[in-house]
Chains A and B, each alone.
Chain A
Amino acid sequence: MLKTLTLVGLVGLGAMAAAHAQTPQRGGTLNFTAPYGSSFATLDPHAMVTIQDEIFASAIHRSLYRWDTTKNEPVLELASEVTASPDRRVFTYKLLTNAVFHHGKPLTADDVIWSYQRIATASNAFPGARHVAAIAGAADFASGKATTISGLRKIDDHTLEITFTQPTNPGFTLMRGSMAILPSDIAGRPEFATRPVGLGPFRFVEHVPGSQGVVARFDRYYKEGRPFLDRVNIVIMGDASARDVAFRNREIDASILGPSQYQAYSADPNLSKHMIEVAEVFTRNIGFNNTFGPFTDRRVRQAINHAINGPLIVQRLARNKAYPAVSWLPISSPPFDKNAAPYAYDPAKARALLAEAGYPNGFEFEVNATPNESWGVPIVEAIIPMLAQVGIKVRPRPVESAVHSEYVIKGEFQAYIWSNTTGPDPLQALQCFHSQTPASACNYTRFRSPEFDKLFDAARAEPDPAKQTELLRQANNLIQQEAPVWFFNYNKAVMAYQPWVHGIQPNATEQALQNYEEIWIDANAPASRR
């Protein structure tokens, strides 16, 4: 009897300890890393162009929507409810009544209108202007023909109506960090650029340019019990080797891994227990200039897809830190066809297709490429012998990254290798293949297909989300068949975190963007962080 009671007691204690380990604990400091460069360019969220800036800004600011990593879709953030008109052009938002900016001002509809008008103001040249452009009257406002955006209507302090120019899912654009809602009373002031104020779970404390940004818990945050952490230090660490040392030395709590680190951490029995992997919405590809001789023929483009052993390159060069691509849209995208098969590695079929297209002896082309290890010169060098087997001679044309995008936009290429965003909005991702989309926007390959245009236009006009997804699935499959690019891989983002860190989320839009309010640390953290 005593033995049984002891056993029951021990089991009970064990269960309590396990439950305690999973119960979020308040307090402590998280040392997070910003891995993309050696500085934050700006603290003004409307001026942000890089993820690096957003990693810091996302602790301080909030937008009308946010990306839900569990549902894998945008969800309301600063509004308690939204009603949409049947044609999905007019949306009425009930804004949160308990949302307060860090300086004490409550959120109102005026702040939303002011923020969107600030973004759309032409002289500001903010990158989010393209997203506001979808709101009715934004074009007139930007060109100076109107003093306000007519599609933004305040019904009362906490009710806002937004009218869009076409049927839309506004979450995809209004969730972006560059669409943050700022306090209309102070955000225009010069000091705001160095001491930002937002609605987020953490308030700004300090920015040491080139080194780190520090935020502390905002006690009047609108979500009960959030955030858990007292403080987040966001350390700028662009070098993967330095991050590796700091992580192993327990100086940082979470770190994005490069291919080399991924391999090493996966092989380590301790480190591999605390890694999170996610298929991000970026498709690495070689884009073919569809106006360049051989590439005008679909069979040539298909032949290249058959001639390259993509999975082998993913395995050997990307060290499995990528998923072989099937089509343009990534795995996490709702229209992605799970039954679609990737192009099989089949040099014989490639040769046959080339012969059919009138290139039995192959041809020669060059690929613009940056030094990037995952989607640059090293990859082009790897495909040289594979394409040589079918008679195609490839030359890498090394270019610097800022020049690379300029050459692509201007059409100064035969082919280019790049990593392009293909989500989370499938409509926006596929729009890049519409014949009406200029090459200077994102139709970099100069692709044209009346069949695709028809499918895409039907999808864009379709108010029913399920039907729209089906149309987009067909459009994506058509792109796969047409092969305007070589479908290389989808990025596998990997984040390692310390055993005392909890609440890290798999974010397909960008793994380095974490919702800090959900993260907490337990009692096993080093004393400096508790």
Chain B
Amino acid sequence: MLRFTIRRLLQMIPTVITVALLIFIIFSVVPGSFAASMMADGRMDADPALMERMNREFGLDKPLYERFGQYLYDIARFDLGTSFRTRLPVTHMINERVWASLKLAIAAMLFAAVIGVPLGFIAALRPGSIFDTATMIGAVSGLSMPQFWLGLLLMYLFALQLGWLPSFGYGDGGFMHLILPAITLGLTPLALLARTTRAGVLDVLNADYIRTAHSKGMSNQKVVRWHVARNALVLIVTTIGLQFGSLMGAAVVIEKLFSWPGIGSLLVDSVAVRDIPTVQGTILVIVLWFLVINTLIDLVYAAIDPRIKQG
């Protein structure tokens, strides 16, 4: 297991380097600059002297290879540079926001898993029933509903009409402020989990070894607990992992809508003004998050099904 873990961790390194290279190249070739973005809303007239000064101070007047060398050197020292926009270290800015993002992602995933998996499971055990049909209609609706619209709908219902929950903000970081953004963000993975769980369980239920277990006189409850649940778990864990990994990136819209102080809104703001160090740093963190989650999922696989680590 230790060798498997080390191998998986080492595999992350080339991925991170490739992503870092891609981010650098993309933001070096796309048009637009931080200095020009200051004039984007037309509130400030262009100032060539200021633009030149900014490009010099931010090192943008240096050749591309030199900037890339510096970028790699800084990353190797875990230094993500200084934001053009805030003039603060990018690590400081990410540290300020990443915890709120994690909190939201974990809450959303918990909501999705705790509701989605049992729903899918029960639906699969009663295929064709009203419960099954209702669950699948709900799941398709959840998948097709734009998160932005859903967020507004929930705000309207629970904040404006019922007055139960605040419609926006982080507040003191308490539970009440977390509920609406977490439900909005969690609904898509919930729907996906319900569908995948149902499909996975149905697949297992039709397997030969389930029939064998039944024919050997094993009770239905025991078959479900010992054979169906365990074998369907690989697919469920895969879906949870993929969804959990992508939640931080997917939270961009939700964070903006609910004024949630996460990393997604930082990324959007930074891209808009070409704050390259912040964009690079934020994307790297999101990629790392994805890789770490996937590595953890691989380790869970190995624990569930020992054949995987041998492969």
Nearest CB on A from B48, distance (A):
4
- Determine, out of B115-123, B153-161, B231-239, the stretch whose residues face the partner at the interface: B153-161
Nearest CB on B from A261, distance (A):
13
CB-defined contacts of B169 to chain A, threshold 8 Å: 211-212, 235
Given the known interface contacts A210-B259, A235-B259, A241-B152, the answer about A251 and B168 at a Cβ–Cβ threshold of 8 Å is yes
Query: Are A209's CB and B261's CB within 8 A?
Result: yes
Q: Does A248 contact B (CB under 8 A)?
A: yes
Which of A41, A42, A402, A441 is packed against the most chain B CB atoms within 10 Å?
A402
CB-defined contacts of B274 to chain A, threshold 8 Å: 402
CB-defined contacts of B38 to chain A, threshold 8 Å: 49-50, 127, 405
Nearest CB on B from A295, distance (A):
20
Query: Are B152's CB and A237's CB within 8 A?
Result: no
Q: Mark B50-65, 1 if CB is under 8 A from A, else 0.
A: 1101101110000000
Q: Does A122 contact B (CB under 8 A)?
A: yes
Q: Does A11 contact B (CB under 8 A)?
A: no
Query: Are B44's CB and A440's CB within 8 A?
Result: no
The docked-state distance in angstroms from the alpha carbon of A130 to that of B51 is 11
Q: Does B208 contact A (CB under 8 A)?
A: no
Query: Are B255's CB and A38's CB within 8 A?
Result: yes
Nearest CB on A from B148, distance (A):
8
Query: Are A406's CB and B258's CB within 8 A?
Result: no
Residue from the list B53, B88, B100, B266 in contact with A129, Cβ < 8 A: B53
CB-defined contacts of B272 to chain A, threshold 8 Å: 37, 400-402
- Determine, out of B8-16, B29-37, B219-227, B284-292, the stretch whose residues face the partner at the interface: B29-37
CB-defined contacts of A50 to chain B, threshold 8 Å: 38, 41, 43
Query: Are B39's CB and A37's CB within 8 A?
Result: no
- Determine, out of A67-75, A390-398, A418-426, the stretch whose residues face the partner at the interface: A418-426
Q: Which of B153-187 contact A (CB under 8 A)?
A: 155-156, 159-160, 163, 166-170
Q: Does A339 contact B (CB under 8 A)?
A: no
CB-defined contacts of B58 to chain A, threshold 8 Å: 125
Q: Does A282 contact B (CB under 8 A)?
A: yes
Query: Are B259's CB and A41's CB within 8 A?
Result: no
Residue from the list A122, A238, A428 in contact with B256, Cβ < 8 A: A238
Query: Are A442's CB and B46's CB within 8 A?
Result: yes
Given the known interface contacts A41-B86, A401-B272, the answer about A249 and B259 at a Cβ–Cβ threshold of 8 Å is no
Nearest CB on A from B150, distance (A):
12
Given the known interface contacts A242-B258, A420-B42, the answer about A210 and B265 at a Cβ–Cβ threshold of 8 Å is yes
Query: Are B50's CB and A130's CB within 8 A?
Result: yes
Query: Are A245's CB and B155's CB within 8 A?
Result: yes
CB-defined contacts of B41 to chain A, threshold 8 Å: 36, 50-51, 401, 419
Nearest CB on B from A325, distance (A):
14
CB-defined contacts of A251 to chain B, threshold 8 Å: 159, 166-168
Nearest CB on A from B139, distance (A):
26
Q: Mark A33-55, 1 if CB is under 8 A from B, else 0.
A: 00011110110100101110000
The docked-state distance in angstroms from the alpha carbon of A205 to that of B51 is 33
Q: Does B87 contact A (CB under 8 A)?
A: yes
Query: Are B155's CB and A193's CB within 8 A?
Result: no
The docked-state distance in angstroms from the alpha carbon of A39 to that of B267 is 11
Q: Does A313 contact B (CB under 8 A)?
A: no
Q: Does A432 contact B (CB under 8 A)?
A: yes
Q: Does A239 contact B (CB under 8 A)?
A: yes
Q: Does B245 contact A (CB under 8 A)?
A: no
Query: Are B265's CB and A421's CB within 8 A?
Result: no
Given the known interface contacts A39-B269, A409-B39, the answer about A193 and B53 at a Cβ–Cβ threshold of 8 Å is no
Given the known interface contacts A193-B87, A194-B88, A441-B45, the answer about A211 and B53 at a Cβ–Cβ threshold of 8 Å is no
A residues in contact (CB < 8 Å) with B = 36-39, 41-42, 44, 47, 49-51, 122-125, 127, 129-130, 133, 193-194, 208-212, 235-239, 241-242, 245-246, 248-249, 251, 282, 370, 400-407, 409, 418-421, 428, 432, 438, 440-442, 444, 510
Can you pick out 5 interface pairs between chain A and chain B where the beta carbons lie within 8 Å of each other?
Answer: A41-B273, A208-B261, A245-B160, A246-B168, A409-B46
